[in-house]
C-alpha cells in the first residue's frame, strides 16, 4: 500500500489540478481502500444547486463540511438506517469527505466511498484525510496566489500556506483562526520562514518569494 508521506510528496509535486484529480486521486483511493475517490473544486453555492442529495438541508455530511470545514464520515452525523434513506446507492454505503479551504472559504471537497459489505471509515481514516486536505489546501493556495511563485523548495507546505496568507494581508490572529493553530505557532513558523529566506520582515518575505525563489 502506498504510504501517506508518498501522497504528501505527490501533492507537492503536482503541476495542475488535473494531475491531482486523476493520478493522485487513484493513489488516495488505494490508500483508503475506497471504492471511489473524487476531488472537486467548487463554490459553496454549487454544493446546493438543484441536486437534493448534495443539499446541506438534506445531506448532513455536506452540511457538516460547510459549517465546520472538517473531515467527516456518515456515521458521525447520522444513524445507518437514516443514511440509507438519504443515500440508497449500495456503492455509497459508507462515505468520507474532507474540506479544501482557502481564505476561510470551502473551495473544494475530497471524497471517498465504500460499497455495501465493506467496513465503515474510522477515526484514523479521518485523521489521515485531515492531513491530506491540509496539504491540498496549501497546494491550492500556492498555485492560485498572485503573490507567490508556483514552485519553491525552501519552505514546507505549511510554511507556504502561512506565507500565502500573509501575502493576502492576513494578521497572525486571522491566520491562526483559519488554520486552526495557535497564534504562537504562526509566529514560530514566520521566524523559520524569515531565517530560511534571510529576511527580517513580512514585506521582505513577500518580496523575496515573489521575485527570487525558484
pLDDT tens column, 54-112: 678 889 999 999 899 999 999 999 999 999 999 999 999 999 999 998 877 888 899 99
Cα distance between residue 37 and residue 96, in whole Å: 10
- What is the tens place of the pLDDT at every residue in 153-178? 577 878 888 888 888 788 999 899 88
Separation CA 166–CA 193 (nearest Å): 12
Backbone conformation region of residue 200, classed left if phi is above 0, alpha if psi is from -120 to 50, else beta: alpha
Residue 149 has pLDDT above 60, yes or no: no
- Give the integer Cα–Cα distance in Å for 34 and 16: 23
pLDDT of residue 51: 56
Does residue 50 or residue 187 have the better pLDDT?
187
Q: How confident is the model at residue 119 (pLDDT cuts 50, 70, 90)?
A: very high
CA dist 118 to 2, 35, 38, 88, 104, Å?
A: 20, 9, 18, 15, 34
| pLDDT tens-digit series, residues 11-63 | 988 888 888 888 788 899 999 999 999 888 874 444 444 455 667 888 999 99
Domains and CATH numbers, the chain: 4-144 (3.30.450.40), 157-211 (1.10.10.10)
Residue written as cell 468520507? 96
What is the distance between the alpha carbons of residues 185 and 8, in angstroms, rounded to a whole number? 21
Amino acid at each position: 500500500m502506498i504510504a501517506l508521506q508518498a501522497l504528501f510528496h505527490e501533492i507537492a509535486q503536482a503541476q495542475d489540478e488535473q494531475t491531482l484529480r486523476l493520478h493522485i486521486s487513484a493513489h488516495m483511493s488505494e490508500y483508503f481502500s475506497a471504492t471511489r475517490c473524487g476531488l472537486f473544486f467548487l463554490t459553496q453555492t454549487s454544493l446546493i444547486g438543484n441536486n437534493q442529495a448534495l443539499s446541506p438541508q438534506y445531506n448532513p455530511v455536506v452540511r457538516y463540511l460547510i459549517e465546520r470545514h472538517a473531515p467527516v464520515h456518515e456515521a458521525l452525523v447520522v444513524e445507518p438506517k437514516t443514511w440509507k434513506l438519504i443515500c440508497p446507492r449500495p456503492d455509497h454505503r459508507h462515505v468520507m469527505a474532507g474540506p479544501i479551504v482557502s481564505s476561510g472559504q470551502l473551495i473544494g471537497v475530497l471524497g471517498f466511498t465504500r460499497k455495501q459489505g465493506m467496513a465503515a471509515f474510522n477515526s484514523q481514516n479521518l485523521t489521515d484525510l485531515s492531513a491530506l486536505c491540509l496539504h491540498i489546501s496549501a497546494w491550492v493556495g500556492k498555485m492560485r496566489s498572485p503573490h507567490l511563485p508556483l514552485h519553491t523548495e525552501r519552505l514546507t507546505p505549511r510554511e507556504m500556506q502561512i506565507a500565502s496568507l500573509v501575502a493576502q494581508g492576513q494578521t497572525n490572529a486571522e491566520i491562526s483562526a483559519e488554520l486552526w493553530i495557535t497564534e504562537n505557532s504562526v509566529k514560530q513558523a514566520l521566524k523559520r520562514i524569515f531565517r530560511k529566506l534571510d529576511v527580517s520582515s513580512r514585506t521582505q518575505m513577500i518580496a523575496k518569494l515573489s521575485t527570487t525563489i525558484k
